[in-house]
Chain A
Amino acid sequence: MTARIGVITFPGTLDDRDTQRAVRVAGAEAVPLWHRDKDLKQVDAVVLPGGFSYGDYLRAGAISRFSPVMETVIEQARAGMPVLGICNGFQVLTETHLLPGAMLRNNHLHFICRDQKLRVENATTAWTTDYAAGQEISVPLKNIDGRYVADERTLDMLEAEGRVAFRYLDGNPNGSLRDIAGITNETGNVVGLMPHPEHAVEPLIGTGRTDGLGFFTSILKKLVNA
């Protein structure tokens, strides 16, 4: 038996198909989940994909955060279910306060779309065990609301507890404080990042790198060995 990984679709989600594909490429079963459905269909983990859910109205992720499916996701995440938020999914996770801080407009106000070098800072989360701590990877980055902010105390806490999971390398693309590209919760089951690992899982696509596949193989190993 393989693991069942849910991928949520909100109105305005863009990357649900690519995320489902990445889940399958890694060898797990992708289960589409709908924002209006509280039922998670007994999945073992959930990915919140990228896009512009609810048109980013109010704030990116602010309205999705109150959707029926998120009620169950929040409850299950607190009970230990692995959750990965990519781009808009990361924004949703900060709006739910499952992850601290918030996302704001890029400091230069431009939409960015490019390959981005990252350093994996924490290779012990549910989604990063197939990487080595300090490993450098390159995956696509595409957003306009990518500037991670939190107060100094929160930033110091994240650093001290090893909860900065990914950091931007070779220049900060959006003004994120302390070059933070992604973070994890205290228990390592909830991870969010702005760049898109699901777009870098097959050698045929993009730059030909498969640096993002590790997210999906990490979680599969964790679930199958559990």
Chain B
Amino acid sequence: MARVVVDVMLKPEILDPQGQAVQRALPRLGFEGITDVRQGKRFELEVEGPVDEAALARIHEMAETFLANTVIEDFTVRVDEPAEARS
């Protein structure tokens, strides 16, 4: 079993009021020096079988058509370390 991680972020030009609200709360909580916060989504996919090129291509297609709305969001796909390696 392998894990593939898809990160989805709003495109840079899209206003992110949720990230802004988080950023504005930081100084009040004593966390200084953070000038900007952008909030995104992370999907962890447990993949059956080998994560070969074909499997990654399918996941890319899934991200493009479903996990992200490419009108407003960018996404990245990467293979995470094998599940057994984590403790």
> A interface vs B, CB < 8 Å?
58-59, 62, 66, 94-95, 97, 100-102, 104-109, 147, 149-151, 175
Flag if B71 contacts A109 (CB, 8 Å). Answer: no
> B interface vs A, CB < 8 Å?
10, 13-15, 17-18, 21, 66-67, 69, 71-72
Flag if B15 contacts A175 (CB, 8 Å). Answer: yes
**B residues in contact with A149, CB < 8 Å:** 14-15, 71-72
A-B contact number at CB 8 A? 36
Instruction: Tell me, in angstroms, the Cα distance from A37 to B14 when the chains sit together.
Output: 36
**A residues in contact with B18, CB < 8 Å:** 105, 109
Flag if A104 contacts B72 (CB, 8 Å). Answer: yes
Flag if B71 contacts A62 (CB, 8 Å). Answer: no
Partner of B71, one of A108, A147, A150: A150
Instruction: Tell me, in angstroms, the Cα distance from A102 to B10 when the chains sit together.
Output: 12
Flag if B17 contacts A107 (CB, 8 Å). Answer: yes
- State the main secondary structure of chain A at its contact with B: loop
**A residues in contact with B14, CB < 8 Å:** 104, 149
Instruction: Tell me, in angstroms, the Cα distance from A149 to B69 when the chains sit together.
Output: 12
Flag if A95 contacts B17 (CB, 8 Å). Answer: no
**B residues in contact with A102, CB < 8 Å:** 69, 71-72
The list of the 7 closest CB pairs from A to B, nearest first, reads A102-B71, A102-B72, A107-B17, A109-B17, A102-B69, A59-B69, A105-B17
**A residues in contact with B69, CB < 8 Å:** 59, 62, 95, 102
Instruction: Tell me, in angstroms, the Cα distance from A88 to B17 when the chains sit together.
Output: 20
**Closest CB of chain B to A97's CB: distance in Å?**
8
**A residues in contact with B72, CB < 8 Å:** 102, 104, 149
Instruction: Tell me, in angstroms, the Cα distance from A149 to B17 when the chains sit together.
Output: 13
Instruction: Tell me, in angstroms, the Cα distance from A70 to B66 when the chains sit together.
Output: 15
**B residues in contact with A106, CB < 8 Å:** 17
Given contacts A107-B15, A107-B17, 17 further A-B contacts (CB under 8 A): A58-B66, A58-B67, A59-B69, A62-B66, A62-B69, A66-B66, A94-B71, A97-B71, A102-B72, A104-B10, A104-B15, A105-B17, A106-B17, A149-B72, A150-B71, A151-B13, A175-B17
